[in-house]
Every structure is written in structure tokens, then in C-alpha cells.
């Protein structure tokens, strides 16, 4: 049998260092894998076998010492040797690393012969340890550690000795397990037993130097444990195996526990879900529920505050979920045999056993939503990470556990689509909606590639003169099968998939190009301006400043002609970062408008710090301004005190225009002046005479039959 080369993982944020070390170590016959940061390294080790890790100390977000500490929770020094790489000549990093469980260290600049020697030393120790575990005598195996279960198989008489520890690992007393080899094989998981038998047979036939396997074995309590089985045959003079001795090591934690949170991972959760599934099939009077939880806007936390803060949030969420579920009245009444797991990323699942119906699961979901509403203090900041929750209740129509998980996931997406921070119970209509959503997402991705979009433009008017001062760009999707698709049908999907970023860039570029054309044709003083909305993802991405600079340069549009509209909700997750970005945009000459004012956080403590140029009053306040003008009056007064212009959205009647003028509002936007129109129709409006308010009113009547009134969500583009 050809032995596999030793597998090494190199972790370093410097691509040049990775490349040099990779090439040198590959030449020595090692199998090399590289990771550019600590998160990538942890993800790799969670799903791949590695013989040794070469780990840089100084890395962004999560440094090498923190990665080392997390790995030592899952692996001993013998199981996974770790050599730290430090650029500091002092002893501080070295001492800290050794205290945290490092096997060895090297310093930069790297002396590669020294590095190779230390790698070889650690691998030799590791292999010596493995050889000891593979000793032909069970007593030699016992010297490796008393926590292992030992077995000794008399192949001639087909009798097997199981040590007391082997039996107790599975929850049995000494006298309750006999000497038949089937005491072992019949407890191995059905999906693993054939492989175990085949690997043992291969060793007995001298196809492998030793036996080694990972398998699941049934505990007395009904749970499956993960075991590492090792063994070595004792052979007679002619090479025939007469006996085989070995050990069984419990590796459940390393196999089924999420390294970050300590919760069960996907492997363990799916195993328990399968057992619940089978139990419910046998007991027709019982059912169970699966709760699927996904954090809302978690990517924004990672993007704005960094992955280290994001990891801390996930750990805090896990702790709060455990406290919530364990203390839930519904769960306490039903018993505590429930599983909370992290599937990956920001996805968590909860398995509620033996519930009476959906009401029990809904009570738990309500409790979770309530507890998550309380702020999390992470990294010195208060965060409010809400969650969308889906619930699926088992019934006999389900064919397998994966279907139940799928439906809980579908219900979660339904909750997210209905406004986030809530729960939904799965029903059959959701599956049809999910299928339709998947189809739309596929079409939307193709639309991004094919640029099947068109900007529509809604006039912004001086209320005093009736003059068109500018436009707001509002994107539409020209789908060959669906026709004109309003943003209300695709913006949420674009946000969730991240496609909002390339779409937003296209909207910005196209709108700036069009405004430059209008300015060249219609010379106004002051010049026409263009308003473009930025989503939270687009606004806080690292290169938005560079994008704006490049687009303005390419289109030759005056920087002061661009107004970027952002919402309060886009800025409040990380106000300081938002303020810093807005200052840089202002330095570029771009104007900033706060959209939908009054519907978000309305944090006055931050409002005076935001470097804004204008406020846009949300249409919900304008719609009732005749009956109650107090809120609009207050906003206008606040804006005046802050030196900001005010734009009223959703203006639809002449009475609203009169009231806004009385209150001192400068600008208006809405159906009274014009519905959103395409570029050519907007050009016609400009050509007809910008100072003729009657022209705008006529246009309103002409275009009102073209497009239905748009929803507040649709106005985001």
C-alpha cells in the first residue's frame, strides 16, 4: 500500500510567504494547503485531516494565538502539532504561544533548513505516537492512555476480549457484553459497518500495514458516538494473522462539535434529526419540530466591524439560545431532550422533541425573538442582531429528514421576506413560493449579466417656482417574460444574494451618464442634479468611494451634481464607519441625502453628526399632512436648524403642495408632478419647459396609466 504524504497547513496573510513556503515544502514531498487568515484555517481544519500546522502569529481580524487556542480545544499536541511563526525577536510571543499549546516555533526571516528540521522533528514525534498506539499488544496500547477502550480478537477461536473501559464508553456494565465479535459490529452505524469490516479484512490480508477507521457506534442511550478505531494483527511464521489487538478512542467532540460556539455541528444535528424522524415514525402519537434560525444582516456586522467581532456575536448568540431554550416554559414542560446546533455561518437549528403541536414550537420561537431583542455588548459596542425564524412540524408525509430541514429553511426565508425579526410556520404554499423565488433569482442573475435593467427618473421640483431641479433614479427590470418588474419584487432578493452591489453600481453609473447628457442639453443655473439610492451593502462596501470617483471622472459629471441617498437603517449598525465614509464622500464633492427620514432609528444624537446636505420626508407623513402636520413641521424646523434642505416625498395633491409651502418646505417629489418615467420621457419633460408647472401636471395625467403606484420598498431604486 502506498503511504500518503504528510499533509501540512500553512497559515499566513502574506501571499509571498505562502508561495515561498509552499514551493519549498512541496519539493520535500509534503502535501501542502494554504490559508490566508485564521478563519480560513479553522474552516479547513473543521473538515480536513492535517498532520501539522505552520501558523503565523501576526494576522488581521483573528491572530495566530487565538487560532492556536481554538485548535487546542479540539486537538491535543500529539494529534495536531502546531509550529508558530513569529516576526518578533523577543520572547513574549514565543512564551505566549508555548503556554497556549504550541509544539514549537520559528522566527522570521525564516531559515528554511531550520524550518524543515523542526517540521521533521514534530512529524517524527507524531508518527512515533501513532506507532505506539498501533502496538501489537493491548497492554502497549493501554500505555497510550486509560481513556481508550481496548479489544483483543482471537481470530482462531473467533472470540473477542473487550476491556471494561470499552464497555463503559458505550454505557454498559462489565457483565452486559460478551465475547462475541458481533458485540462490536452490530453496534456500528449501518452506513459505516461495511467499510469497517472491509478495512479490517484488508489489514488481515496484508494490504495495509495497520487498521485505522473512523466510525459511529451506538451508545446505550440511543445516541451514536464517533470513534477512532486502530488495530494491528499478530501473525505466525507464515504470515497468517492469528490475533488482532486494538483500541477505540472517542472522537465525538472533534467530529460533531462546532469549534467556534461549542454547539453540535451539522453532522451531529443531522444524526439526531434522523433518529427523531425514525422515532416519530414508530410512535404515531408523537411529533417534533425543527426550528431554523438565520441572523438578519449579519454580513453587515462582518463587513463593518470585522470577522473577529462577528465571531464574538455568534458565540454570544449561541449562549443566549442555550439559555432561552433551556429556560423556555414549553421546553421545560416537555423535557430537556432537545438539540441546539450551528449548521454554519450565521445559521442555527433547534430540534424540539415530542411536542404536542405547532403551538409549542411557536412559543419557543417567540421567546427566542424576545430574548434576541435585548442588546448584545460586543467589543465595546451595543449590537441588536435580530433573527428570522422558520418552523417545520414533522408529519408522516415527510420521506426523509432532509425534506423537513428544507421546509424549515423555506419558512425562515418567508419570515425574512415578510420583514425579518419574526417567525413563520411552514405551509405548502411556501414551497411553491420558494420555487418561484428560486426561478426569479436564476433569472435575476442572468439579468445582471445581460444588463436587462433600465433607469426610470422621477422629477424633484422647487415648490416655490415649479422648476425641475433634478431627478431621482429608480431602477426597473425589463424581463422578456414578466415585462417591467418593479423593485418591490426583486430588491430584497438582490440584498440577500449580494447582487445589489453590482446592480447599484450599474444604476449609479447609468444615472450619472444620463445626467451629464441632460446638463449638456439643458443649461440651468444651478445645474440639474441626480439622486441615486445606495443600499446598506453598497454604501458600506470598502470601494464605494473609489467607485464614485471613477464614475464621476468617466462621465465628466460635476461632483456636486450627484446626491447619494442613504437610509438611517443603512448607517446605524456602525454609525462611526458611516460618518467616516460620508466625510470622505463630502470631501469628494458629493452631496448626501438622508432618505425616508422618520421611519428608521431617528437618532438625534447621531443626526447632528452626520455630514448631510438634505433630508427627505417619508411619504407616510406627507399622505396625512392635511389632517396632522405636526411631524412634518418638526422635521422641517429640525432641518432648518441643522442647515439642511428638505425634500417631501409622495406629494400627490395641490393641497399638500400648499401646506408644504406654508411650512417652508423647499422641494417636492411625487405623482402630483410626475410618476417615474424613462430617460426619453424625462427629456421630453425638460424640453417642454421646466418652469411650467402645468406641463408637469399634464405629464402626471399622461403617465399615470403607464405604471401602477409603486410601493415604499420599490422606491429604494
Handedness of CA 687, 688, 690, 696 (dihedral sign): negative
Cell 504528510, located at residue: 6
Handedness of CA 51, 57, 62, 65 (dihedral sign): positive
pLDDT bucket at 328, cuts 50 / 70 / 90: low
Average the pLDDT over 606-629 and give the result.
89
Which of the pair, 672 or 603, is modelled with greater confidence?
672
Confidence at residue 365, expressed as pLDDT on a 0 to 100 scale: 92
Least confident of 107-111, 181-185, 436-440, 530-534: 436-440
> Of how many residues is the chain composed?
717
Give pLDDT tens digits for 448-473: 888 889 999 999 999 988 899 999 99
Among residues of the chain, what percentage have pLDDT more than 70?
89
Closest CA to 590 of 521, 698, 501, 515: 515
Average the pLDDT over 80-105 and give the result.
85
Looking at the predicted structure, is the pLDDT value of residue 179 above 60?
yes
Looking at the predicted structure, is the pLDDT value of residue 269 above 70?
yes
Looking at the predicted structure, is the pLDDT value of residue 703 above 50?
no
Closest CA to 222 of 268, 173, 170: 170
Which of the pair, 705 or 491, is modelled with greater confidence?
491
Confidence at residue 515, expressed as pLDDT on a 0 to 100 scale: 95
The mean pLDDT value of the chain amounts to 84
Which of the pair, 700 or 74, is modelled with greater confidence?
74
As a whole number of angstroms, the distance between CA 493 and CA 182 comes to: 54
Average the pLDDT over 663-691 and give the result.
89
Looking at the predicted structure, is the pLDDT value of residue 289 above 60?
yes
Looking at the predicted structure, is the pLDDT value of residue 193 above 90?
yes
As a whole number of angstroms, the distance between CA 119 and CA 421 comes to: 50
Angle between helices 679-688 and 500-521 (to 10 degrees): 30
pLDDT bucket at 550, cuts 50 / 70 / 90: very high
Which of the pair, 435 or 334, is modelled with greater confidence?
435
Cell 423535557, located at residue: 335
Which of the pair, 142 or 317, is modelled with greater confidence?
317
Which of the pair, 529 or 287, is modelled with greater confidence?
529
Confidence at residue 405, expressed as pLDDT on a 0 to 100 scale: 94
Looking at the predicted structure, is the pLDDT value of residue 676 above 90?
yes
Give pLDDT tens digits for 468-518: 999 999 999 988 778 888 787 788 778 777 788 888 889 999 999 999 999
Which of the pair, 238 or 64, is modelled with greater confidence?
64
* pTM of the full structure: 0.49
pLDDT bucket at 599, cuts 50 / 70 / 90: low
Among residues of the chain, what percentage have pLDDT more than 90?
43
Residue 399, class by beta-carbon neighbours within 10 Å (0-12 exposed, 13-18 middle, 19+ buried)?
Answer: exposed
Which of the pair, 572 or 186, is modelled with greater confidence?
186
Confidence at residue 69, expressed as pLDDT on a 0 to 100 scale: 92
Which residues contact residue 487 at a Cβ distance below 8 angstroms, ignoring those fewer than 6 apart?
A: 474, 475, 476, 477, 710, 713, 714, 715, 716, 717
Question: Which helix (H) or strand (E) is 127 found in, with range?
Answer: helix 112-133
CA distances from 201 to 52, 150, 186, 205, 236 (A): 30, 19, 17, 6, 17
Least confident of 112-126, 334-348, 412-426, 447-461: 334-348
Confidence at residue 572, expressed as pLDDT on a 0 to 100 scale: 67
Looking at the predicted structure, is the pLDDT value of residue 332 above 60?
no
Average the pLDDT over 71-82 and give the result.
90
Looking at the predicted structure, is the pLDDT value of residue 614 above 60?
yes
As a whole number of angstroms, the distance between CA 688 and CA 95 comes to: 78
Amino acid at each position: 500500500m502506498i503511504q500518503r504524504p504528510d499533509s501540512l497547513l500553512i497559515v499566513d496573510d502574506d501571499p509571498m510567504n505562502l508561495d515561498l513556503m509552499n514551493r519549498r515544502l512541496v519539493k520535500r514531498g509534503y502535501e501542502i494547503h494554504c490559508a490566508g487568515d485564521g478563519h480560513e484555517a479553522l474552516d479547513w481544519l473543521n473538515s480536513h485531516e492535517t498532520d501539522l500546522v505552520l501558523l503565523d502569529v501576526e494576522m488581521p481580524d483573528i491572530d495566530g494565538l487565538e487560532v492556536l487556542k481554538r485548535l487546542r480545544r479540539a486537538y491535543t499536541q500529539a494529534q495536531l502539532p502546531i509550529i508558530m511563526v513569529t516576526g518578533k525577536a523577543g520572547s513574549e510571543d514565543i512564551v505566549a504561544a508555548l503556554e497556549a499549546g504550541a509544539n514549537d516555533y520559528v522566527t522570521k526571516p525564516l531559515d528554511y533548513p531550520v524550518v524543515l528540521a523542526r517540521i521533521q522533528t514534530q512529524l517524527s514525534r507524531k508518527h512515533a505516537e501513532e506507532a505506539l498506539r498501533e502496538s501489537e499488544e493491548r497492554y502497549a496500547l493501554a500505555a497510550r492512555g486509560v481513556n481508550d477502550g481496548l479489544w483483543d480478537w482471537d481470530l482462531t477461536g473467533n472470540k473477542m476480549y473487550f476491556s471494561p473501559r470499552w464497555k463503559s464508553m458505550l454505557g454498559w456494565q462489565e457483565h452486559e457484553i460478551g465475547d462475541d465479535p458481533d458485540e462490536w459490529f452490530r453496534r456500528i452505524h449501518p452506513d459505516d459497518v461495511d467499510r469497517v469490516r472491509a478495512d479490517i479484512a484488508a489489514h488481515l490480508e496484508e494490504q495495509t500495514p495497520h487498521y485505522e477507521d473512523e466510525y459511529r457506534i451506538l451508545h446505550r442511550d440511543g445516541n451514536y458516538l464517533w470513534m477512532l478505531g486502530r488495530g494491528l494483527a499478530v501473525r505466525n511464521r507464515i504470515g497468517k494473522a492469528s490475533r488482532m489487538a486494538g483500541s477505540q478512542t472517542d472522537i465525538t467532540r472533534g467530529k460533531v462539535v462546532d469549534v467556534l460556539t461549542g454547539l453540535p455541528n451539522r453532522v451531529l444535528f443531522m444524526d439526531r434529526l434522523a433518529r427523531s424522524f425514525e422515532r416519530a415514525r414508530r410512535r404515531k402519537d408523537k411529533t417534533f419540530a425543527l426550528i431554523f434560525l438565520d441572523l438578519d444582516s449579519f454580513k453587515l456586522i462582518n463587513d463593518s466591524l470585522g470577522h473577529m467581532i462577528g465571531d464574538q456575536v455568534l458565540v454570544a448568540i449561541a449562549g443566549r439560545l442555550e439559555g432561552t431554550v433551556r429556560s423556555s416554559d414549553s421546553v421545560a414542560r416537555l423535557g430537556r431532550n432537545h438539540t441546539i446546533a450551528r449548521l454554519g455561518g450565521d445559521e442555527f437549528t433547534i430540534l424540539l422533541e415530542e411536542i404536542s403541536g405547532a403551538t409549542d414550537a411557536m412559543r419557543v420561537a417567540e421567546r427566542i425573538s424576545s430574548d434576541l431583542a435585548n442588546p448584545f455588548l460586543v467589543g465595546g459596542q451595543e449590537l441588536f442582531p435580530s433573527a428570522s425564524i422558520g418552523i417545520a412540524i414533522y408529519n408522516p408525509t415527510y420521506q426523509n429528514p432532509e425534506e423537513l430541514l428544507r421546509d424549515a429553511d423555506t419558512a425562515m426565508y418567508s419570515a425574512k421576506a415578510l420583514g425579518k425579526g419574526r417567525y413563520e410556520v411552514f405551509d405548502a404554499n411556501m414551497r411553491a413560493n420558494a420555487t418561484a423565488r428560486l426561478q426569479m433569482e436564476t433569472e435575476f442573475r442572468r439579468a445582471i449579466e445581460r444588463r436587462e435593467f433600465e433607469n426610470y427618473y422621477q422629477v424633484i421640483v422647487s415648490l416655490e417656482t415649479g422648476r425641475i431641479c433634478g431627478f431621482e433614479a429608480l431602477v426597473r427590470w425589463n424581463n422578456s417574460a414578466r415585462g417591467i418588474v418593479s423593485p418591490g419584487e426583486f430588491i430584497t432578493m438582490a440584498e440577500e444574494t449580494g447582487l445589489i452591489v453590482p446592480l447599484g453600481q450599474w444604476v449609479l453609473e447609468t444615472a450619472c451618464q444620463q445626467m451629464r447628457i441632460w446638463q449638456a442639453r439643458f443649461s440651468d443655473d444651478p445645474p440639474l442634479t441626480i439622486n441615486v439610492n445606495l443600499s446598506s451593502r453598497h454604501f458600506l462596501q470598502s470601494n464605494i468611494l473609489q467607485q464614485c470617483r471613477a464614475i464621476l471622472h468617466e462621465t465628466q459629471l460635476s461632483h456636486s451634481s450627484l446626491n447619494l441617498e442613504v437610509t438611517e437603517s443603512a448607517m446605524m449598525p456602525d454609525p462611526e464607519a458611516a460618518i467616516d465614509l460620508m466625510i470622505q464622500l463630502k470631501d469628494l464633492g458629493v452631496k448626501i441625502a438622508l432618505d425616508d427620514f422618520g421611519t428608521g432609528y431617528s437618532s438625534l444624537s447621531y443626526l447632528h453628526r452626520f455630514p448631510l446636505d438634505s433630508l427627505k420626508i417619508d411619504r407616510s407623513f406627507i399622505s396625512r399632512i392635511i389632517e396632522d402636520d405636526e411631524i412634518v413641521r418638526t422635521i422641517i424646523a429640525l432641518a432648518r436648524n441643522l442647515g439642511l434642505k428638505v425634500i417631501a416625498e409622495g406629494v400627490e395633491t395641490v393641497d399638500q403642495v400648499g401646506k408644504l409651502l406654508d411650512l417652508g418646505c423647499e422641494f417636492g417629489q411625487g405623482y402630483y408632478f410626475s410618476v417615474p418615467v424613462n430617460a426619453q420621457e424625462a427629456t421630453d419633460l425638460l424640453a417642454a419647459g421646466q418652469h411650467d408647472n402645468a406641463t408637469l401636471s399634464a405629464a402626471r395625467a399622461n403617465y399615470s396609466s403607464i405604471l401602477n403606484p409603486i410601493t415604499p420598498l420599490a422606491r429604494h431604486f
